[in-house]
Amino acid sequence: DKGKHLTVNRQKAQKFSEYIGEVPVVLLNPADLNLSQGSPAQRRRFMDVLLSQSSKLYLHHLIQYNRSLKQRNRLLDSELKDWQLIHSWEENLVTHGTEVILKRKETAEQLSEMVSRFYQELSQEVDRVKIIYRSNVPFRTGEDVVEVYRQQFEQKRAQETNYGATMVGPHRDDLLFLINGTIMKDYASQGEHKTFVIALKLAEFRYLQQQRSQSPILLFDDIFGELDSQRIQSMLNQLSQIGQVFVTTTSRNFFDKVRDFDASTHYYFVEEGKIEAIEA
């Protein structure tokens, strides 16, 4: 057959979602270094990729939520609005959206503790960093999230009608990254942003390791030209404690640092699709 096919334990996967998380992966590339300064959509995607690899149930709720959101948006954007059908999609959004929100919030709290520890080890500073999940559904601890969710739909009804799209739900949520109590996006230096994102990726690795009882594959793709010598050294110290890591670089300077740091590392030179093992 033509086209791409995915297999899990030699069995053909019927859906791509069956393949997600089978081989957990943590990737850090130059684009990820903008995570703490970029858009809320980037941070939501980070959380969704992490949780989809660790929980099939979360992935199910996320897929169902996105399908329902697409259908409701299509109805809201039409000239003749079928409110009975719109309401029915709302219930789907509430059901699956609530699960997405609660799992993201719980995970953000767990990641926050890990990131704080990794950040201090990488930076060798006493700065305190924190992650807060900011939900578009403004519930307080102890409140019925489902009821608050439904109330938000009622309150935003006129706005959604004019806007032609759903304005309530986890597709509009964000992760707030703080340093010493201040939002990093408004305050942190470039070095602090980079250190935070590296700490976040190390926390992602640790979270998946704990949830899956296996170590994910850690891939660091050509990010070292963005870092100073002190941060590179701190990162190498962390990577040496993790286990198997795949690192790519176009920097000869970084290559020399790694070669001097760990004699057990295997090195390969890749050029025009050809791979050659090289001596340490």
Please report, in tens digits, the pLDDT of each residue of the chain (280 residues total).
567 777 777 777 666 666 676 788 999 998 898 999 999 999 999 999 999 999 999 999 999 999 999 999 999 999 888 889 999 999 999 999 999 999 999 999 999 999 999 999 998 888 999 999 999 998 887 678 999 999 999 999 999 999 999 999 999 999 999 999 999 998 898 889 999 999 999 999 999 999 998 889 999 888 877 677 788 888 888 887 877 788 888 877 777 777 666 667 888 889 888 999 887 6
**What are the C-alpha distances in Å from 33 to residues 43, 79, 96, 227?**
12, 42, 31, 10
pLDDT at 255: 75
**How many domains is the chain partitioned into structurally?**
1
pLDDT at 109: 97
CA-to-CA distance for 88 and 85, rounded, in angstroms?
Answer: 5
For residues 196 and 112, the answer to whether their CB atoms sit within 8 Å is no
Q: Which ranges in 124-182 belong to alpha helices (H)?
A: 145-155, 157-163
Q: What is the pTM of this model?
A: 0.88
65 domain-assigned: yes
Q: What is the span of the domain harbouring residue 258?
A: 7-278
pLDDT at 154: 94
90 domain-assigned: yes
Q: Report CA torsion sign: 189, 119, 265, 34.
A: negative
pLDDT at 210: 94
Question: Residue 191 corresponds to which tokens in the numbers above?
Answer: 């070095």
Question: Residue 204 corresponds to which tokens in the numbers above?
Answer: 């992602």
pLDDT at 16: 64
156 domain-assigned: yes
For residues 209 and 18, the answer to whether their CB atoms sit within 8 Å is no
237 domain-assigned: yes
Residue 120: which residues within 8 A CB-CB, separation 6 or more?
Answer: 126, 127
pLDDT at 278: 84
Q: Identify the CATH number of the domain in which residue 198 sits.
A: 1.20.1050.90
2 domain-assigned: no
